[in-house]
């Protein structure tokens, strides 16, 4: 079904106020709402509302709400291509190898080798086909950490397509809580976990950071993987410390080379210690322990 995205760019304070108000406005109709950090240094955030019917009505209601909140950001509208079209456009993407993992689309199943841990991710609306340096870095780090530490209860925060949660479940056969701020991503994550035969291990849940009672229910985790961005990762450091088991590991990515030291400092301030850094295409993946 064709979806329309109604979106506007604004600063962090405004995006949070707009999100809170619109979430209530559209609670009953269930339009998914998402926030994306576009440029953390310039404080530019994008608020998106995904609509399947009556986009004009939703746009008008959103404009009224923003006006009431004195947020002057202009609303833009984008008709999203059908998922099949996206899949078609990505058919040419090559499978990605990271350690023992092979992340591939359904058209590349024959490229799997014996010994590969294959993760099939179909093109969709959620981030995480393995092609990004941050995802590949996390996959490599997951393999190292799981081999050494035998984790038993994991969290994938900012799961996107669930590629990392699926990797953890396939490699370690352990329960993984897979969360994302974006309800579309959580829907895709749930479906991908099921398609990869690890639906019983992966619970997908929509949450901003640690903002859901499910975290208390499922914690403490002995492994947390979070591929978000440097600034939210730094903000989340105290809660990471709260939800990790003593001696547990955290794998962080979405961090540019130049942001590495600041992120490590934020976590050292919460009694984590830095173990290793992997560098890939200008991005770093960190392994820290507490
Ligand atoms: C770079 S993608 C990573 C996807 C996947 N884990 C991977 O490694 O390919 C980041 C994901 O984190 C989500 N996200 C961003 N900020 C978040 C937050 N504060 N809490 C939860 N999820 C967040 C985004 O919606 C997005 O799906």
Question: What is the pLDDT confidence band of residue 1, given thresholds at 50, 70 and 90?
Answer: low
Domain ranges in the chain? 3-80, 127-289
| Architecture of the structural domain at 3-80 | 2-Layer Sandwich (3.30)
Element (H or E) spanning 192, and its range? helix 183-195
The domain 127-289 having CATH identifier 3.40.50.150: the answer here is yes
Q: What is the pLDDT of residues 23-33, one digit of tens each?
A: 889 877 777 77
Average pLDDT in the chain: 89
- Distance of CA 88 from the midpoint of ligand 1 (Å): 24
- Distance of CA 160 from the midpoint of ligand 1 (Å): 5
For 4, list phi and psi in degrees, rounded to 5. Answer: -115, 135
pLDDT at 240: 97
pLDDT at 123: 66
Average pLDDT over residues 238-249: 97
Residues 6+ apart with CB under 8 A from 84: none
Binding residues: 135, 158, 180, 227
- Distance of CA 222 from the midpoint of ligand 1 (Å): 20
Binding residues for S-adenosyl-L-methionine: 135, 158, 180, 227
Q: What is the pLDDT of residues 153-201, one digit of tens each?
A: 999 999 999 999 999 999 999 999 999 999 999 999 999 999 999 999 9
- Distance of CA 151 from the midpoint of ligand 1 (Å): 22
Question: What is the pLDDT confidence band of residue 89, given thresholds at 50, 70 and 90?
Answer: very low
Ligand 1 pocket: which of 158, 181, 202 to mutate (most atoms within 8 A of CB): 158
pLDDT at 83: 45
pLDDT at 126: 61
pLDDT at 82: 58
**Residue 65 near residue 18 (C-beta atoms within 8 A):** yes
Q: What is the pLDDT of residues 101-134, one digit of tens each?
A: 999 988 888 888 888 999 999 766 667 676 788 9
pTM score: 0.72
Average pLDDT over residues 86-108: 74
Give a three-class secondary structure readout of 88-114.
Answer: HHCCCCCCEEECCEEEECHHHHHHCCC
Question: What is the pLDDT confidence band of residue 79, given thresholds at 50, 70 and 90?
Answer: confident
- For residue 246, the tally of other CB atoms under 10 A from its CB is 9
The residues lining ligand 1, judged by C-beta closer than 6 Å to any ligand atom, are 126-128, 134-135, 138, 157-160, 163-164, 179-182, 185, 208-209, 227-228, 232, 254
């Amino acid at each position: 079904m064709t979806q329309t995205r109604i979106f506007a760019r604004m600063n962090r304070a405004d995006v949070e106020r707009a999100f809170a108000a619109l979430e209530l406005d559209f609670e009953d109709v269930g339009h998914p709402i998402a926030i994306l950090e576009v440029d953390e240094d310039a404080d530019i955030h994008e608020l998106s509302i995904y609509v399947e019917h009556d986009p004009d009505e939703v746009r008008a209601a959103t404009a009224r709400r923003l006006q009431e909140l004195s947020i002057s950001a202009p609303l833009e509208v984008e008709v999203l291509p059908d998922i099949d079209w996206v899949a078609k456009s990505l058919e040419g993407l090559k499978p990605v190898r990271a350690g023992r993992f092979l992340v591939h689309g359904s058209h590349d199943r024959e490229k799997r080798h014996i010994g590969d841990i294959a993760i099939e991710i179909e093109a969709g609306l959620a981030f995480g086909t393995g092609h990004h340096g941050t995802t590949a870095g996390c996959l490599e780090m997951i393999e190292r950490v799981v081999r050494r530490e035998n984790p038993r209860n994991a969290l994938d925060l900012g799961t996107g397509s669930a590629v990392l949660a699926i990797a953890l479940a396939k490699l370690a056969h352990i329960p993984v809580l897979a969360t994302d701020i974006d309800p579309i991503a959580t829907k895709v994550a749930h479906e991908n976990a099921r398609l990869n035969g690890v639906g019983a291990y992966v619970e997908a849940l929509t949450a901003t950071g640690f903002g859901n009672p499910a975290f208390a229910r499922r914690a403490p985790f002995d492994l947390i993987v979070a591929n978000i961005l440097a600034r939210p990762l730094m903000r989340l450091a105290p809660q990471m410390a709260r939800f990790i088991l003593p001696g547990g590991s955290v794998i962080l990515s979405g961090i540019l080379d130049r942001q590495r030291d600041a992120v490590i400092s934020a976590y050292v301030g919460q009694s984590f210690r830095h173990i290793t850094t992997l560098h890939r295409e200008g991005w770093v993946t960190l392994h820290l322990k507490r």
